[in-house]
Amino acid sequence: MLSGPARALLLPGLVILLIAAVPLSLSVGMIQIDWPRIGDDDTASIALLQLRLPRVLLAVLIGAVMAQTGAVAQALFRNPLAEPGLIGVSAGAALAAALVHTALVGASAVAVLPPSLLLPIAAFAGGLAAAFVVLRLARRDGQTDMTTMLLAGTAINAFVAAIVGLLSARADDAGLRGFTLWMYGNLGRAGWNEIAVAAPLLLAVGLWLPREARGLDALLLGDAEAQHLGIDVERLKRRLLIAVVLATGAAVSLAGVIGFVGLVVPHAIRLLAGPGHRLLMPASALLGAILLTLADTVARTAAAPAEWPVGALTSALGAPFFLALLLRMRTRIGLP
């Protein structure tokens, strides 16, 4: 863990890294950006303003909010292996996307909407619907039982995975390829229209969540202890869960399923700065933005003109980290 002076430099250091990562991501690609001559090169200007800039902005927003919601999920469940996908948002969005790719595209009922618009709308609605089912199952006697929510989310995720598998089996090659690329995360659909729709919600959640740092710290002590500290635990849980559901639904609907950012980033910050959410939340947001921006840069340039799914890259980083956490916790959870 960092010492006191080093902890004070953590946020400025992450800000500097993000400021460096953004122009780096904007510069590299099939079309090289010559910054001093950007106004004289129409092709480079179009590539920068219409393709790369909205994509990088979306990566920053989604990476930041996914990391924050991961930290919130871990505090709510008091489980270091928790992430937003546990409450069914990603699974519900995946089911809706599978329906769009395999069954609904071209149907007369939705022919008025282009697939580029239909997919994010359907994914957002599917994510909210699945989360609503999980939240409803977790309510008992006016209280939200987090253990029940975890079990219900696991069941919903398993059920949806089975339905998605059945839908994939009947998909044509184009539909299956489109759904597979979406499932593993892709920021290639990012445009100014998506920014206009997603940015207000993601910004609102991202700026509001750090204000709940005191309540999140109290939740780590337990519900009874938080209540004694003057925290309205039930109202706090509802606020946080709504924020997590909305932000995760918006992120997944636009970029697909990008795994492990919400798991890896908060833990990396805890290892550096400790568990206090006053520093954890903004630092997680910055590191999440940096991680997803750089991962997306690698995804679109490493095999150009082909593109790797960015979710595969983040999972390749997150899976070993997840296994390391399990090894550290095995005595605590009873593994041999």
Task: Render pLDDT for 274-286 as a digit per residue (tens, 0 to 9).
Answer: 889 999 999 999 9
Q: Under the phi-then-psi rule, with left for phi > 0, alpha for psi from -120 to 50, and beta for the rest, what region is 142?
A: left
| pLDDT attached to residue 216 | 94
| pLDDT attached to residue 289 | 96
Helix ranges (H only) for 274-309 are 277-301
| pLDDT attached to residue 10 | 94
Q: What are phi and psi of 28, to 5 degrees?
A: -95, 150
The tokens 């580029």 sit on which residue? 116
Is residue 140 helix, strand or coil? strand
Sorted by sequence, the CB contacts under 8 Å of residue 171 that are 6+ apart come out as 98, 101, 102, 179
What are the chain's domains? 4-333 (1.10.3470.10)
Whether the link from the prior residue into 282 is cis, omega within 30° of 0, is no
| pLDDT attached to residue 307 | 85
Among 152, 181, 176, which residue's Cα sits nearest to residue 166?
Answer: 176
Residues of the chain with pLDDT under 70: 39-41, 103-117, 175, 325-326, 329-336
Query: Residues for the chain: how many in total?
Result: 336
Cβ-count burial 304-321 (b if 16+ within 10 Å, e if not): eeebbbbbbbbbeebeee
Among 121, 41, 130, 51, which residue's Cα sits nearest to residue 86?
Answer: 130
State how far the Cα of 96 lies from the Cα of 90, in Å rounded to an integer. 10
| pLDDT attached to residue 104 | 58
| pLDDT attached to residue 335 | 46
| pLDDT attached to residue 108 | 43
